[in-house]
Structure 1
Amino acid sequence: MLRQPSNSRDSSYGTSPVFPLWLRIAFPLCAAGLAVLMFSCDLTVARYIQENRPPGFLRELVENTEPFGHGIGVVILLATMAISHRERWRNYVHTGAIALGAGLITDLFKASYGRIRPRDLPWDQVASVQDTFLGWFPLLNGLDSHTSFPSGHTTVAFALAVCLSVLFPKGRNMFLGLAAFVACGRVLTSAHYLSDVCMGAAVGWTVAQTAIYAGRKNALARLVRETKSSPVESTPSVSLNPSAAAADSSRQAA
């Protein structure tokens, strides 16, 4: 379970979520819906990017944010944070497990249904967006590089951003901004379509929020069990009658 830093060295996850309930629900729904809408313009955007390369500074900017959504980059980042804040190392282990777990879920999707990446697309043989999909289980057919949908980097980046936002609420805009840059970079480098990164964002957000919610529920249930099992200390009764209190004291002294 993720724990939110506070004045104590290792305080439990707060009861007030970083993201309001409506946003936790609306974001993945909107991202998934946007992914469906983007199918209609995936080819147009991908062709434009290949024919009109983005400015060098923009490509360099988004490419340098890629480690935020790469498994190795995530491990190095969280390991550094764990070494720097040893009293909260479990937080970063849990964060890594959630982010990389979200990436594994996306990998299952990618391995189940193939899609040609924009940089590998034979444009003379493509008439519609349906032609970018290759059918079920592309790895069994030797098409190991045609796993475009959804974007794994974007999934990991958004899952990581959500977890870090819980640990460091003041930096949530920066974390989500980095995740957005990762998504843009995957499109600008012709590694993914717009629909790929939108769906990746939806998966990463959903997995992270679900894991955090489950952790909070488990922690609450554990707290209730511990409270019920702990002995109740008896407190001495206090009398408002001074004479009665004096009499009790004399009897105890005797």
Structure 2
Amino acid sequence: MRTIAPLVRFDLAFSLFCLGHRFNAEVARISRWISKTGDGHLYVVIALLVWMFDSTFGALFLATGLMAFAIELPIYWIAKNSFKRRRPQELSDLLQAYITPSDRYSLPSGHTAAAFVMATLIGHFYPDFYLFAYIWATLIGAARILLGVHFLTDVVIGAVLGFSAAQLALSYLPSLM
């Protein structure tokens, strides 16, 4: 534990910086809306719309997305329940959570992981939307920090997990075609 102590201190200081200002309530309102776009419902809608309206890549996008989430979700679950990292508000009385998280532990950020799965797939199949998709995924991760439910490293590790799961699924594309 001693070797990661500086990282834990950095995470705590960063969260205090992000949440310790007078605009908390206003930022939380915007962050809550952004975070809700990462709850999962929008991913299903995007996948179904692409599948229905894109005869060239729709089925492949859907199949690759299902494979990417089949990779990401078990790793996320195992990591979350192995690390058992407490959420920011549990580590400092100075930190407030603006939403109630869906589970107990914070590492990795599942919202961020899922957002980066989708951003990576969108960027691969629809390069014109690459920048928009990654900005959106990054905003979801930032919103989770600004809502007080994740540390910066939770979000970074979630982004790496989501990106990696999508890349692994995309590496199987030739066998799906």
User: What range describes the TM-score normalised by the shorter chain of this pair?
Assistant: 0.7 to 0.9
Write the distance in 1 (CA, Å) between the matches of 2:55 and 2:37: 22
| Number of equivalences | 166
Q: 1:152 to 1:80 in 2, by over 3 A?
A: same
Provide the identity percentage: 23
**Gaps in structure 1 of 5+ consecutive residues:** 1-34, 125-143, 223-254
Structure 2 residue 79 is matched with structure 1 residue 121: no
Q: In the alignment, which of 68, 75, 78 is matched to residue 108 of structure 1?
A: 78
Deviation at 1:213, TM superposition (A): 1.3
Three-state SS of the structure 2 residue aligned to 1:69 is coil
Q: 1:54 to 1:214 in 2, by over 3 A?
A: farther
Q: 1:162 to 1:36 in 2, by over 3 A?
A: farther
Write the distance in 1 (CA, Å) between the matches of 2:130 and 2:124: 8
Deviation at 1:193, TM superposition (A): 0.2
Amino acid of the residue matched to residue 82 of structure 2?
A: S
Amino acid of the residue matched to residue 168 of structure 2?
A: T
Question: Could you tell me the TM-score, scaled by structure 2's length?
Answer: 0.77
**What residue number does 2:138 align with?**
180
**Aligned-CA RMSD value:** 2.9
Write the distance in 2 (CA, Å) between the matches of 1:58 and 1:157: 20
Structure 2 residue 111 is matched with structure 1 residue 153: yes
For residues 60-97 of structure 1, the C-alpha deviation after alignment (integer angstroms, 9 at most, x for no partner) is: 44333324432233112322333333564413422431
Deviation at 1:200, TM superposition (A): 0.6
Write the distance in 2 (CA, Å) between the matches of 1:208 and 1:155: 10
Three-state SS of the structure 2 residue aligned to 1:192 is coil
Q: 1:196 to 1:44 in 2, by over 3 A?
A: same
Structure 2 residue 39 is matched with structure 1 residue 81: no
Q: Is the CA contact 2:112–2:141 (under 8 Å) kept in the aligned structure 1?
A: yes
Q: Is the CA contact 2:69–2:114 (under 8 Å) kept in the aligned structure 1?
A: yes
Structure with greater helix percent: 2
Deviation at 1:156, TM superposition (A): 0.6
Deviation at 1:162, TM superposition (A): 0.5
Question: Could you tell me the TM-score, scaled by structure 1's length?
Answer: 0.56
Greater RCO, CA 8 A, separation 6+: 2
Q: Is the CA contact 1:100–1:156 (under 8 Å) kept in the aligned structure 2?
A: yes
Write the distance in 2 (CA, Å) between the matches of 1:190 and 1:197: 12
Q: Is the CA contact 1:98–1:159 (under 8 Å) kept in the aligned structure 2?
A: no
Bigger CA drift: 70-79 or 177-186? Answer: 70-79
Write the distance in 1 (CA, Å) between the matches of 2:79 and 2:106: 10
**What residue number does 1:39 align with?**
8
Amino acid of the residue matched to residue 109 of structure 1?
A: A
